[in-house]
Structure 1
Amino acid sequence: MMSEEEKRAVLYRSVREFPDFPSPGVLFRDITPVLKNPAAFTASIDLFESYVRKNFAKVDVIAGLDSRGFLFGPVLAQRLEIGFVLIRKKGKLPGPTESLSYSLEYGKAELEIQSDAVDPGQKVVIIDDLLATGGTMKAACELLQRKNAEILSCLVLIELTSLKGAEKLQPHCVHSLLQYD
């Protein structure tokens, strides 16, 4: 069985870099090799699960952000034997929804959740693949707070620390498996 350090090493080796994508000066961290490699994907879920079990006595639901949070969240929720809910871009969910508009570096966006997805007081862990400036994750936190959910933590595979997204999310806890400047 691999140690946590060995699992992180597998993840670091699986993330590949694409300079100047999607625009000049950007170094894109691509997680698709993590998804392609069963050992790397399992390592990510193992690390997320270990963190949640060590830090929270009770979690009611995992909330995944559109769209890559949908890759990690359901597997983690299944491991924890709890439910998974979707936080999506506006117009993608059927039935009654609640939405929140927020600003991005390049404009505006809107997230929504089904009205019955989370009950007041439920303990929620939010998950996504990447934390950069924190705008989308912050909007998800605000949306869940409007539902009177208790946000336990924000989980991400990769955190771009130089963009200070975790600071924007305070007082919510951010746990990232991999950090890059």
Structure 2
Amino acid sequence: MNLKEHIRSIKDYPKKGILFRDITTLIKNEKAFSETIDQIIERSKKYKIDKIAAIESRGFVFASAVSYLLKKPFILLRKKNKLPADVHSVDFELEYGTATIEMHKDSVEKDENILIIDDLIATGGTAEAAAKLVEISGGKVCCFIFVINLFDLKGSDNLINNGYKVENLINFPGH
């Protein structure tokens, strides 16, 4: 199945000049969604995984299903002030602003191998912040898996250049 055919492209969203890659058309199709989860699981088999983390909010859609099927604990990486217990926080740059991502301090134990899943990588700022959260807690990022890679924005390349393993299911230009 060609997953790329199930992604809708929307011009000038959320602002002029951005070509938004919409996963809602993929997840509403049960065959395409199942194939996506199967591909993530297949790619994850190369790595020793203790826990699975996902970046808010669309990463949760994929990672929760993968976590369930692999029987691995699931960690939420959320926007600032969304988690109720003590958190680690990392500030980062977005393509169109700045943000903060947080994780509960008790989510990751020392030397645990964490798979981070998200729906899309553009410049990689959010993914780098997610890795820092895992590393602050003493864990190791064994791999990132992204459903969509906007290859010309170089986020995957930046992660690889910083020593991370990266798997991408679908490649699109970002513009």
Report Cα offsets for 1:5-56 as digits up to 9, x if no partner.
x3xx1x1111111122223332211110111111010000000000111x12
- 1:22 paired to 2:31: no
Matches within 5 A, 1:17-96: 17-53=9-45, 55-56=46-47, 58-96=48-86
Unaligned runs of 5+ in 2: none
With structure 1 as the length reference, what TM-score do the two structures score?
0.90
Report Cα offsets for 1:97-129 as digits up to 9, x if no partner.
111112234332111100111101111000000
- 1:161 paired to 2:151: yes
For the residues of structure 1 that align with 2:54 and 2:18, how far apart are their CA atoms? 25
1:105–1:25 distance in 2 versus 1, CA, 3 Å: closer
1:111–1:117 distance in 2 versus 1, CA, 3 Å: same
1:128 to 118, 142, 153: 118
For the residues of structure 1 that align with 2:11 and 2:95, how far apart are their CA atoms? 20
For the residues of structure 2 that align with 1:79 and 1:12, how far apart are their CA atoms? 23
| Matched residue SS, 2:15 | coil
1:104 to 87, 94, 98: 94
Report Cα offsets for 1:48-73 as digits up to 9, x if no partner.
000111x12x3110000011111011
RMSD over aligned Cα, in angstroms? 1.1
For the residues of structure 2 that align with 1:14 and 1:158, how far apart are their CA atoms? 12
2:134 to 118, 131, 144: 144
Question: How many residues align structurally?
Answer: 171
| Matched residue SS, 2:9 | strand
For the residues of structure 1 that align with 2:90 and 2:16, how far apart are their CA atoms? 31
| Matched residue SS, 2:148 | strand
For the residues of structure 1 that align with 2:84 and 2:16, how far apart are their CA atoms? 38
Unaligned runs of 5+ in 1: 1-5
With structure 2 as the length reference, what TM-score do the two structures score?
0.93
Moved over 6 A (4+): none
